[in-house]
Amino acid sequence: MHALLGTWVRRNRSTGLFLCLVLLSTGFASAQTAATAVSESQGMLSEEAQAKLYKKLESQTEFLRKQSEVIKTVAKLIGPTVVHIEADVSNPRSLQHGQNGQVEEAGSGVIIKRKGKSYVLTNRHVIRGASPEGIRITLVDRRMIHPVPLRVWEDPRTDVAVMEIKAPHLVHARVGKSDAVEIGDFVLAVGSPFGLSHSVTFGIVSAKNRRALELGGAEVKLQDFIQTDAAINPGNSGGPLINLRGEVVGINTCIASNSGGSEGIGFAIPIKMFMNVADQLIDQGQVSRAFLGVTLERGFNSAMAAEKGLRRPIGALVKDVTPGSPAAKAKLRPNDVILTLEGAPVMDDNHLVNLISFSKVGAEVSMIVFRDRKEIVVKARLATRKDFDPKP
């Protein structure tokens, strides 16, 4: 560079000084840039470099900020509909040891409107056995109310509870369609983890149709959970799982955890399943469940499927048929494999139990059954479970 400069100056002395100044200035700028780079690599930033980075970040994060605005809007919409619940519930273990049988349970709930009345949806284990006076519902504006007397319902088999409430200026959540939820959908969980009311967490739907979970209460027999990695902790029970349209698609119920805290595996009751039970509780005071009358083989495996001519253990294998039941009248037999019910593929025995239990009592259902290496169609008219299973 210096040699070239010397040659150029000898040819044009009149402008040589100007060129030298330009090159010297350029050299200084290069040195300054190098010095800045060294400073930045050591964690130092000049005010000018910092300003440039902020400007760059502004353009880079515009898309993400627009996405976060969606989350903010959903949180603003759903926040006023979520309540904190404290209940004086019965504790069977304490009673067995002659101690006070009451403990305080805490959880969450969400307010909906149904036929012009307001209801709180929550989990049965949050208010289990508590009287309306022993249930304290705290609204977003810190008002504390109780459920309407004699208007509290519970269903142990699904862990569903619903309470009618009356108060001015209530905000109601919209009920969405849980059938439309897909794995990978973004969702928000809202509730009171560890008593920290109106906490919002964000995640995705990790899986659907989770069944046969070993929950703390063995009474929860009917399961079809939505799995999510949105953080759910003790106190979130009964709170809503929300889609990006601000609609309730599930009621947060339980977690899978070794520590007792969130490990990214939470479960919510699909809102369709929840409302199926809640509607019956409100209208009838109890849940009428359909009954087919088959005992199913829980150990249905690949070897058993191959023996029957199936490529894999899909469907539900009939182990026994209850005499006089709809299954018996439809001439279902042991060793039949029920593949579909009303066109819906049957995944396993638990799935069939759910499908039957949430079918309408008295409805005639069509099943595709695999028998003697052939598919046949069998129709049965469902009865009421209580006629064959008197246990509450």
Closest CA to 328 of 287, 284, 291, 376: 291
Helix intervals (H) in 123-270: 124-127
Residue of 237, 262, 325, 357 marked catalytic: 237
Q: Which two tokens stand for residue 284?
A: 């009838």
Active site residue: 84, 108, 155, 159, which one? 159
Residue 176: how many other CB atoms lie within 10 Å: 20
Q: How far apart are CA 235 and CA 182, in angstroms?
A: 26
Q: Respond yes or no: is residue 159 known to be catalytic.
A: yes
Quote the CA–CA distance of 218 and 69 in Å, as a whole number: 42
389 part of the active site: no
CA dihedral in degrees (352, 365, 179, 224; nearest 10)? -20
320 is catalytic: no
User: CB of 191 within 8 A of CB of 255?
Assistant: no
User: Catalytic: which of 125, 155, 224, 348?
Assistant: 125
Handedness of CA 139, 145, 150, 153 (dihedral sign): positive
The CA-CA-CA angle for residues 60, 65, 70, to 5°, reads: 150
Report the candidate in 234, 222, 211, 248 with the shortest Cα–Cα distance to residue 119: 248
Q: Which residues participate in catalysis according to the annotation?
A: 125, 159, 237
